[in-house]
């Protein structure tokens, strides 16, 4: 029978009875004759608690030690789930990231998976074991433990599904799938039956929390269908897969929003070759990822440059930029940490005019001022005041008639 990789998130594994519930689900799948690999997250808020503990010890914990500490949350979960399965008289074995052969680069706290050595998992599967793997972690070539960035267990699951050639990867969480918008903001938001990899990647990158962007990226790269569904409520979920509904009439599939946006504006920047490199190189070296960049048309060889970063990176980014201010000779640096992003996403928007203007009209009718605009082939994003984000999301959901079945 086919191999299935399942992943259970932290809210699905908070208390002992949750472990028993998940164990019964996994056991049922096994009884149907499937080979099963289960990836688990840390229980409930464990990762935040461990992080808080580290910060109580020191404001800047050593990143190698922090990764080792945070990786323990997932180990607790995988041991408990293996016990719960054994209690149901199922053969199960728990594996840490190291034991499961998850290899990463050395970028502590945001490591990337460089490869998976599947030997141990394959041997355990052959012996008839259900294999439980601690998500979110791997090891470097020096055998140092790394973590993959917050929410990284999704990425572990899809990477394993790709390497083990699983038929599909199932991500179980506390929501019933991918919605047209966050249902806490738009009560009439609809669950999508399916969504394309690119669309999911854009929604996730621009704020939808239901699947980690790097998991969507791996799905796209290796063409691994990903089912996102609820651990608690039986239902069809949402299948993230290839080329669905490209020609659907309603070409906007979903609205994403993100409140984690800060804007930095450099005023009076001399407009000459090399300036952008001088500013953005040190930001990259400081590991700060810059999202939107806008340079105004220059007047008398002087221009304004605006870009956005995550709020958590604002102080660090300001320090880096201030240092360059004298060297490059720009007038002033302004920061704004009260912004948010709203995005419309859909592959069908490609080459179809009118989506941008409809979006801007809807936002203007809702009294939402647009600070910056960026686009990709399948997405249009507006940066707006953070406080206006809920209003903006509702206006766009309505304007693109996303509550109607497509």
Taking the complex as a whole, the smallest distance from the CB of residue 49 to Mg ion amounts, in Å, to 12
Q: Please measure the distance between the N-terminal and C-terminal CA atoms of the chain and give it in whole angstroms.
A: 35
DSSP calls for 102-124: EEE-S-TTS--EEEE--HHHHHH
From the list Mg ion, ligand ASP, none, pick the one residue 175 interacts with, judged by a Cβ distance below 5 to 8 Å according to partner type. Answer: none
Question: Nearest residue to ligand ASP, using CB?
Answer: 153
- Judged by beta carbon, residue 150 or residue 311, the one nearer ligand ASP is 150
**Residue 245 touches which member of ligand ASP, Mg ion, none, C-beta under 5-8 Å by kind:** none
Residues 94, 118: Cα–Cα separation, whole Å:
15
Q: Taking the complex as a whole, how short is the minimal distance between the CB of residue 10 and ligand ASP, in angstroms?
A: 5
* Shortest Å, Cβ 332 to ligand ASP: 37
Helix (H) or strand (E) run with residue 164 in it: none
- The answer to whether 81 and 99 are in contact (CB under 8 A) is no
For Mg ion, the closer of residues 147 and 245 by Cβ is: 147
Chain residue at closest Cβ approach to Mg ion: 10
Q: Taking the complex as a whole, how short is the minimal distance between the CB of residue 152 and ligand ASP, in angstroms?
A: 5
Distance of CA 54 to the CA centre of its chain: 24
Shortest distance (Å) from residue 156 CB to ligand ASP: 8
Nearer to Mg ion, 12 or 245 (CB): 12
Shortest Cβ distance from residue 169 to Mg ion (Å)?
Answer: 17
Q: What is the CA radius of gyration of the chain?
A: 23
Nearer to Mg ion, 41 or 140 (CB): 41
The residue (of 41 and 303) whose beta carbon lies closer to ligand ASP is 41
Among residues 47 and 245, whose Cβ is nearest to ligand ASP? Answer: 47
Instruction: Using the minimum distance from each CB to ligand ASP, give the nearer residue, 52 or 236.
Output: 52
In the chain, % helix, strand, coil (3-state, to 5) comes to: 35, 25, 35
Reduce the DSSP state of residue 5 to 3 states and report it.
strand
Q: Which parts of this chain interact with Mg ion (CB under 5 A)?
A: 10, 41
Partner in contact with 136, chosen from ligand ASP, Mg ion, none, beta carbon below 5 to 8 Å by kind: ligand ASP
> Which of the choices Mg ion, ligand ASP, none does residue 104 contact, using the CB cut-off of 5 to 8 A by kind?
none
Residues listed for the chain:
406
Binding site for ligand ASP (CB under 6 A): 10, 41-42, 47, 73, 135-136, 150-153
Q: Which residues pair with 294 in a beta bridge?
A: 306
- Rounded Cα distance between 84 and 28, Å, is 13
C-beta of 375: minimal distance to Mg ion in Å? 31
Helix, strand, or coil here: 336? strand
Contacts of 28 (CB under 8 A, 6+ apart): none
Task: Report the DSSP beta bridge partners of residue 343.
Answer: 256, 381
């Amino acid at each position: 029978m086919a191999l299935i990789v399942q992943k259970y998130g932290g809210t699905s594994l908070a208390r002992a009875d949750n472990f028993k519930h998940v164990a019964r689900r996994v056991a049922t799948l096994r009884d149907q004759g499937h080979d099963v690999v289960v990836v688990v997250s840390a229980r409930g808020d464990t990762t935040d608690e461990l992080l808080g503990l580290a910060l109580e010890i020191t404001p800047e914990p050593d990143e190698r030690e922090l990764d080792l500490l945070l990786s323990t949350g997932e180990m607790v979960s995988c041991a408990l789930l293996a016990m719960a399965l054994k209690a149901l008289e199922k053969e199960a074995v728990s594996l840490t990231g190291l034991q499961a052969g998850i290899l990463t680069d050395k970028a502590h706290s945001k490591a990337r998976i460089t490869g998976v050595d599947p030997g141990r998992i394959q041997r355990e599967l052959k012996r008839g074991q259900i294999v439980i793997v601690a998500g979110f972690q791997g090891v470097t070539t020096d055998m140092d433990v790394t973590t993959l960035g917050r929410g990284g267990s999704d990425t572990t699951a899809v990477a394993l599904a790709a390497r083990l050639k699983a038929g599909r990867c199932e991500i179980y969480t506390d929501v019933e799938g991918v919605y047209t918008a966050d249902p806490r903001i738009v009560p009439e938001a609809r669950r999508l039956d399916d969504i394309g990899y690119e669309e999911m990647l854009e929604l996730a990158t621009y704020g939808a929390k239901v699947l980690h962007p790097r998991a969507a990226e791996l799905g796209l790269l290796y063409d691994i269908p990903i089912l996102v569904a609820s651990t608690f409520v039986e239902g069809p979920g949402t299948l993230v897969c290839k080329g669905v509904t490209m020609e659907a009439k309603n070409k906007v599939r979903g609205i994403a929003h993100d409140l984690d946006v800060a804007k930095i504006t450099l005023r009076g920047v001399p407009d000459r070759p090399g300036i952008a490199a001088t500013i953005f190189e040190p930001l990259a070296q400081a590991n700060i990822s810059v999202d939107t960049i806008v340079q105004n048309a220059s007047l008398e060889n002087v221009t304004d440059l605006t870009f956005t970063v995550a709020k958590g990176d604002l102080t660090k980014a300001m320090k880096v930029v201030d240092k360059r201010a004298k060297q490059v000779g720009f007038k002033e640096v302004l920061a704004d940490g009260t912004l948010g992003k709203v995005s419309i996403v859909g592959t069908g928007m490609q080459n179809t005019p009118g989506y941008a203007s409809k979006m801007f009209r809807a936002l203007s009718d809702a009294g939402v001022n647009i600070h910056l605009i960026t686009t990709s082939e399948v997405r249009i994003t507006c940066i707006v005041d953070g406080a206006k984000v809920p209003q903006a999301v509702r206006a766009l959901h309505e304007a693109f008639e996303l509550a109607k079945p497509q």
